[in-house]
Amino acid sequence: MKLNLNALGIVNPLGKGKREVARNLLGGSQEGLVWRYDLLPDRAVRAGVVREVLPPVPERLAYLDCRNNRLALAALLEIHEDVMTIANRVGPRRVAVVMGTSTSGIAEGEAALAQRIANGNWPRDFRPRAQELGNLAAFVADVCGLEGPAYTISTACSSSAKAFASAARLIEVGLCDAAVVGGVDTLCRMTLGGFDSLEALSKDRCNPFSRNRDGINVGEGAAIFLMTREEAPVTLLGVGESSDAYHVSSPHPRGDGAVLAMRRALDAARLKPEEICYVNLHGTATELNDLMEAHAVNVIFGDRTPCSSTKSITGHMLGAAGANEAAFLWLMLEPGFADGSMPPHIWDGEYDPALPRLNFASLDSSFANHNQVAALSNSFAFGGSNAAVVLGRGW
């Protein structure tokens, strides 16, 4: 597998656009993790929030209007010209759309249901179709006038990581020449309430791999790529997937499925573990996930490879996490954004002695070989749906 990621559009709690996101990513900014008073009924909670004003959806797509699709549009506008260029060259039927999400327009459905309970009537502008998981890919395809295969993957927190594998297969078997691929998720009460019922929410900022970790921050964001065979600095070298189905909400304690996903990604990329310069950890800051992932990463990489969890600065973007964290690799590898710097691991520095040792990247961590470099990102989901993505430059 060697397909190129020619363009990226991104918006998340670190900002809007590649340059702002890269600057705040490498600086370890936690300004996007803010207190929200409207997501839980009984208390405030920290969440990773997109604070930028989002563009309105085109009037002809008003039936799909929701915050999730406005987030998608904000990211898509950054690469719209690139998408149009390839669509004009190969034809709109030869460009696919594969997106990942887990919330879609649920937030608007929550508001509509609240009004129905309060006064017995649904809002006049309530659009049930905006809640459908599949509408994200349909919306992106319609905005760009694309006519190739278009579908949405929803496997919880691995959704948009798995979208890379699916989009790559469409190109490799000849069903299309290019793909718009990524993920979008939006904050909503249902998600926060669900994690709260599992006692998985942090009382403040999350603290991945610390002995003091107490749960996650939920976040929102969008990252959308253009994938083609045409030359570009950053290449999708491999994707590994597994499904261990250990438990509906708890990961396999030894991380067997995570190990398998990483090994398959490395095999697909034809790389050895020592050829990976950096690992973006799933790193949710829950007790069981961090324990599992520390074991799994240590099995593959030992304590040599620099790594970090970026969820302590973005929150867990759920179905959009895989695409956004792959985007962090892209920003690290694409010339002109990171200049060799790695995303730092922001935490309290108090390592849990029960965890195998990992080599956490700091604010001044960087990679030495700028000509040939590869990095890996992990995404693990409920039900044991696992994915690892390898991006590289110069291979």
State the pairing for strand pair 306-308/359-360: parallel
Pairwise CA distance, residues 190 & 122, whole Å:
19
- Amino acid 248: pLDDT: 74
Helix (H) or strand (E) holding 346: none
43-70 burial: b if 16+ Cβ within 10 Å, else e: eebbbbbbeeebeebeeebeebbbbbbb
- Amino acid 296: pLDDT: 97
Pairwise CA distance, residues 158 & 149, whole Å:
21
Q: How many beta carbons lie within 10 A of that of residue 204, not counting itself?
A: 12
Radius of gyration for the chain, computed over Cα atoms and rounded to the nearest angstrom? 20
- Amino acid 184: pLDDT: 98
* Strand-pair partners of 219: 48
Identify which of 191, 210, 198, 231 has the alpha carbon closest to the alpha carbon of residue 316: 191
Residues of the chain with pLDDT below 70 are: 1
What the block records as the tokens of 40 is: 């839980």
- Amino acid 246: pLDDT: 76
Pairwise CA distance, residues 316 & 310, whole Å:
9
CA separation, residue 232 to residues 25, 109, 263, 382, 388 (Å)? 23, 41, 25, 34, 21
Residue 157 known to be catalytic: yes
Beta-strand ranges (E) seen in the chain are 3-12, 15-16, 33-36, 45-48, 95-100, 150-153, 178-185, 218-219, 221-228, 234-243, 278-280, 306-308, 359-360, 373-381, 385-393
Q: What is the dihedral of CA 82, 165, 16, 331, to 10 degrees?
A: -90
- The set of residues, in sequence order, having a beta carbon less than 8 Å from that of 84 and lying 6+ positions away, is 144
Phi, psi of 361 (to 5 degrees): -70, 145
Strand, coil or helix: 218:
strand
CA separation, residue 161 to residues 6, 100, 321, 385 (Å)? 17, 8, 8, 11
Q: Which of 80, 252, 295, 316 is catalytic?
A: 316
Q: Which of 80, 282, 295, 345 is catalytic?
A: 282
Q: Which of 144, 157, 176, 277 is catalytic?
A: 157
pLDDT digits 0-9 by tens, 24-66: 999 999 999 999 999 999 999 999 999 999 999 999 999 999 9
Query: On the CB side of 241, how many CA atoms lie within 13 Å of its CA?
Result: 14
Q: What is the pTM of this model?
A: 0.97
- Amino acid 1: pLDDT: 64
Strand, coil or helix: 179:
strand
Burial category of 383 from C-beta neighbours within 10 Å (exposed 0-12, middle 13-18, buried 19 and up) = middle
Q: Can you list the domains of the chain with their CATH numbers?
A: 3-393 (3.40.47.10)
CA 277 to chain centroid, in Å, comes to 20
- Amino acid 92: pLDDT: 98
- Amino acid 371: pLDDT: 83
